[in-house]
Amino acid sequence: RSQKQNREKAMQLLRTKLYDMELQKQQKEIYEKRKMQVGTGDRSEKIRTYNYKDNRVTDHRLNQNFTLDTALEGHLEPVVEACIAEDQKQRLQTLV
Q: What is the DSSP string of 46-82?
A: --EEEETTTTEEEETTTTEEEEHHHHHTT--HHHHHH
Amino acid identity, residue 78? P
pTM, entire model = 0.47
Is there a single domain that holds both residue 48 and residue 73?
Answer: yes
Q: Among residues 62, 37, 36, 38, which one has the least CA distance to residue 49?
A: 62
- Residue 51 pLDDT: 92
Kindly state whether residues 48 and 94 are assigned to the same domain: yes
Q: What pLDDT score does 36 carry?
A: 75
Residues 32 and 48 in one domain: no
pLDDT tens digits along 13-26? 999 999 999 999 99
Reported as a single tens digit per residue, the pLDDT across 3-59 is: 999 999 999 999 999 999 999 999 999 998 888 777 666 666 788 889 999 999 998
Instruction: Clarify whether residues 35 and 14 are in a common domain.
Output: yes
Tell me: do 28 and 67 sit in the same domain: no
Q: Are 47 and 66 in contact (CB under 8 A)?
A: no
Domain extent at residue 27:
1-39
95 shares its domain with 48: yes
